[in-house]
Every structure is written in structure tokens, then in C-alpha cells.
Amino acid sequence: MQIVIKIGGSVLEHLHSAFFQECLQLKEKGLTPVIVHGGGPVISQWMDQLGFQPQFVDGLRVTDEQTLTIVEMVLAGSVNKHLVTKFRQAGAKAIGMTGIDLGLIQVEPLNHSLGFVGRVTHVNKEVIQLILDQGWIPVIASLGVDHEGQHYNVNADDVASAIADALKAKKLISVSNVDGIQINDQPLKQATADEIEAYIRTGEITGGMIPKVRSGLRSLTGSVQEVVIVNGQQPGCLTDDSHGTRLIKGEVKSHVFISHL
């Protein structure tokens, strides 16, 4: 059984030292990890160093040709190989790739005003399955390609969601630098789609958490039974069920908050 783990750019350089071993523990339990990563903060750092001003619309990076070149350089090069190295140091057989390779992530333009930002239209799941059949862990950078061969920057949450659906994975873990969803300064243990949308309407869920949870909710319309948002800076974030916030199908009668005690 596959489990998709999306590593957010905000936590890439701050993952707990046990994180990669925990991925191996999941594999030993029969939950084969498929890793998807972004790298937004690192991309912005490189843009600043190269004299470019990052621009965003609704949390998505406006991506012209020059920005796309930087995005590819950072995601396919620096970030992807950093993660592969960490997995290898933990004793895992990991292979780095992007959604461009072998047409893995096929896309179309999301919105022409955003430039080369893509919407996932198809996942070539056979490519991933070939890697999994070798006992390897795929580490996938969130880039995509259209039918004409044009490359695109793609939101990593959307790539993870699409891959989870294509593989019929039962669980998707979104690894960030926050302790799940916070409501009234308390971490929420679990919630349904209707409850999440209500929190958004009342302003209790805001900012960058909105696209993250909505991407997770879209996953729940397919084979995925639960999406978990966890803090990758904490040990046990992948193996201890008490961590983070679970987005689930069905009705939750009452909210249970994780105690600070």
C-alpha cells in the first residue's frame, strides 16, 4: 500500500533528524512512501540573490521564463538532491526525479496571468510503479509538462493530491512547519470537509493554510481516506498518530484538541 508524503518548502531544511528513518519504518510496515516536495522559500531566496522580485497571486508564484528557469534549477537540482542524499544517509534506496521526467506529471496552464503555472491533468502512475517495484523510494519535485513539451511550475500540494489519487493511496501526509491546523490557538485533531470550509468562512483558517487544506480536501473525493497535516520538526510526526490534524471523510460529532499538558 502506498502513502504519499508531501514535504513543504517551509520545513525542508528543518526536518527532524528522525524523519527519514520514520519513512523507512513506514516502508517496513508495508506503507510504501512516495515523496513529493516543493521548495518555495528556497526559490525565493535564489530569486532575491539573482536580483528578481518574487510575485504571488492567491499564494501561487507568478512564473515567467526567467522565474521558471530558477524554479527548475532549485527544485530539480538543489532541493531534490538534498532530500535524496538524506534518504541515502538513512539507508534508503531513493531516486530523485521531477514531474517532467517520462511525462510523469502532465499539466495544462492554470491561469495565463500566472505564466507557466500548471494544473495537473494526468499522472503517469506506471512510472512511479516501476520505481516502487524495485523497492526504491521516489522523490518527486513539483514540476510538470504539457503535451507540447513546455515545462511548468506546479503547486506541490496539488501534485501530491493528484499522485495519491492516481495510486489509490489511502493516506496523504502533508509535512509543514506548523502543528496542524490551529483554531483559537489550539491544534485541531480532526475535521471534515464541511467543518474546514466553515472555519475558512469564519476566518479561523487563513493565509497559506487555506490552499493546503483545500488541496487535501480535494484528495478526499478520491481514494484517499485521510489527509494528515503534521510538523516535520517533531519526532514521530510520521509514525505517531497523535501528531497533527486529520482531514477525514464523514461526520465528526465533536472536536478533540491535542493537550498542551
- Which runs of consecutive H residues, i.e. helices, occur in 50-92? 65-72, 80-89
Q: Does 39 count as an annotated binding residue?
A: yes
DSSP string, 228-256: EEEETTSTTTTT-TTSSEEEESS--SS--
Q: Does 51 count as an annotated binding residue?
A: no
Q: Does 80 count as an annotated binding residue?
A: no
Give Cα 163 to chain centroid, integer Å: 10
Q: Any idea which residue has 527548475 for its cell? A: 72
Q: Does 40 count as an annotated binding residue?
A: yes
Is 99 in contact with 162 (CB distance < 8 Å)? no
Residue 25 and residue 32: Cα distance in Å, rounded?
A: 10
Residues in binding site: 39-40, 61, 153
Residues in binding site for substrate: 39-40, 61, 153
